[in-house]
Amino acid sequence: MKKILIISCVLMGFAMSAQNPQTKKITKKFFPDTEEVLNTTPALQKKRGFTDYEELLDFLNNLVEKYPDQISISFIGESQKGREIPMVKLTAPNAKEKIKVWMQGGLHGNEPASTESMLYLLDRLLNDESYADILNNVELAVVPMANIDGYLKNNRYAANGLDLNRDQTKLMAPETVVLKKAYAEFNPEVAVDFHEYRPYRRDYARMGDFGVTNMYDAMFLYSGNLNIPENLRNLTNGLFVENARQLLDKNEYTHHPYISSTKHYGDIHINQGSISARSSATNNALTNTISSLIEIRGVALGKTSFKRRMHSSFLIAVSYLRSAAENIQLVKDEIKKATSQENDVVINYERGVYKDKVQFIDVSAAEYVEFEMTIRDAWKAKAKLKRPRPKAYIIDAKRTLLIEKLETLGIKVRYLDEEKDYEVEQYIVESYSKKPIRYEKMKLQSVEVSLVKENKTFPKGTAVIMMDQRRANLASIVLEPEAPNSFVSFGVLETQKGETLPIYRLINEAQ
Ligand SMILES: [Zn+2]
């Protein structure tokens, strides 16, 4: 009996250390836990594990019971395992013009501080008078546990194995569809997606004598995609991220723009920022919204420094809410300005590449170390392929799958009520290749197209996507065939060499 007990303890000890790679020395020196967070959320009220589904619903229902005028729950749809996904809306019942802010956590199921900090945020906004200014000016929607099935298994992916933060243009997971619909319906001016990142990566284990670890409490990911109007990119970084950075500094938490390692011909490079419309930071920004994704240092750390992780996440949430509450008119005006711009569509791009010093924590020495590394920077991206912005895109009415996905993304689709002649550009597929291995359950296609002008008669019922709408930039990115996250690239619209695509560009004003 005794022997078995010892063996199981050893096994458990091994399993624990395999799960959490961080030494106590590093935790104590760089990431001591904080007492700034009250034990008001479910995971803080128990020794082991994180908030489960029943605890989540109980927690939200208790708030609704206590504050029925300020908070309400609805369910946006079901997870693949049939669990209803709650969304809460908060605001003060006054007649003031408000700004709408969307926040979500738990899109990746193994990033528990993201969900827990959303619950803590709800608790504080309602129970602490000092946040009353926020709800007086903001209408807030929160989806605290976006990927419930993954969350309950502490697993990054949805039940069918899809990564919900790579699925936002092909829209294959039911969770993505309901989240995008709820997002479009709410129609926020500001959107923040809370995550945690993995500080111990295989690439980092190869650096230094015995490996290094990422040192930042928080990293900010705001998109460098060139189709996002420059005024919104500047407002995101210059106001929202900047205010959050200052609040973290005041609380002595470290932060940095988002970085992650990437392999480049066998060498380890650093990717900085993101451009990719399949992920939330860019996808939401392409709806002409102030958008950020927040990465907190936490994946695989269990409950180590859990309150510290929650607290840094919470401070960022509060900062974004205050920035929104204090700049309602400015943000609305800039979104309007962004929506009236008529820039070219940037279809493909190259990241800026340069060398710079990057700081880490050396794992064995428990000291800061610095390496000169190659940075591939999304915020210094240059356009590789551009095309003039059309007045509209036109899609054959039979292509219902494409049209349905556009509508899920909140893109407005009009239907011709009579037959019309238009001069359009057609896409002819000049070169074609298909990846043999699946990525996120799809075989990626890559194409080169030529554009051919033609007068074409479109029957009644043909779908028209006008480009003077707020989500036009997102429409371009899924409809221009060579764009890396387009319907064609992801194989949603299958094609082959020599084909004419069922998508057309309207160059002159539609009558
Ligand atoms: Zn994540």
CA pair distance 351, 271, nearest whole angstrom: 9
Predicted confidence (pLDDT) at residue 15 exceeds the cutoff of 70:
no
CA of 297 to the centre of ligand 1 (A): 11
182 touches 88 (CB < 8 A): no
Average pLDDT, the chain: 95
DSSP state of 480: S
Amino acid identity of residue 19, one-letter, is Q
pLDDT tens string 346-362: 999 999 999 999 999 99
Burial 100-120 (b: 16+ CB within 10 A, else e): bbbbbbbbbbbbbbbbbbbbb
Residue 509: pLDDT band (50, 70, 90) is confident
Question: What does the pLDDT average to over 175-195?
Answer: 98
pLDDT greater than 80 at residue 511 = no
pLDDT at residue 19, as a whole number: 73
Q: Cα of 193 to ligand 1 centre, how many Å?
A: 9
114 alpha carbon – ligand 1 mean position (Å): 9
Sheet of 445-458, strands arranged across? 414-415, 463-466, 392-395, 500-506, 420-434, 445-458
Helix, strand, coil percentages in the chain from 3-state DSSP, rounded to 5 = 35, 30, 40
Q: 16 pLDDT exceeds 60? A: no
Beta-bridged to residue 256, according to DSSP, are 219
Cα 53 to middle of ligand 1, angstroms: 19
CA of 157 to the centre of ligand 1 (A): 10
Average pLDDT of span 127-135: 95
Query: What's the gap in Å between 196 CA and the centre of ligand 1?
Result: 5
- pLDDT digit string (tens) for 88-117? 999 999 889 999 999 999 999 999 999 999
Q: From the CA of 94, how far away is ligand 1's center (Å)? A: 35
d(CA 402, CA 358): 42
Per-residue pLDDT averaged across 131-135, rounded?
A: 95
Of 139, 101, 32, nearest to 317 by C-alpha is: 101
Q: Which residue has the higher pLDDT, 94 or 496?
A: 496
Backbone angles phi, psi at 488, to 5 degrees: -70, -50
CA distance 278 to 215: 27
Q: 510: pLDDT confidence band, cut at 50, 70 and 90?
A: low
- What are the structure tokens assigned to 35, written together? 């007492």
Is the pLDDT reported for residue 338 higher than 70? yes
* 84 burial type by CB count under 10 A (0-12 exposed, 13-18 middle, 19+ buried): middle
Task: Measure CA of the first residue to CA of the last residue in the chain; give whole Å.
Answer: 85
Could you tell me the distance, in angstroms and rounded to a whole number, from the CA of residue 294 to the centre of ligand 1?
9
DSSP state of 27: H
To 5 degrees, how large is the angle CA 261–CA 262–CA 266?
120
**Residue 253 pLDDT exceeds 60:** yes
CB atoms within 10 A of CB 169: 28
Residues 6+ apart with CB under 8 A from 479: 393, 395, 465, 486, 487, 503
How far does residue 467's CA lie from ligand 1's centre (Å)?
Answer: 32
pLDDT at 18 over 60: no
Rounded to the nearest whole angstrom, what is the distance from the C-alpha of residue 406 to the centroid of ligand 1? 25
Q: How confident is the model over 262-318, as pLDDT tens digits?
A: 999 999 999 999 999 999 999 999 999 999 999 999 999 999 999 999 999 999 999
Q: Identify the pLDDT of residue 439.
A: 93
Tell me the CA–centroid distance for residue 461 and ligand 1, in Å: 40
What pLDDT is attached to residue 11?
42
Q: What is the mean pLDDT of residues 465-493?
A: 97
Expressed in angstroms and rounded, the spacing between residue 360 Cα and the centre of ligand 1 is 20
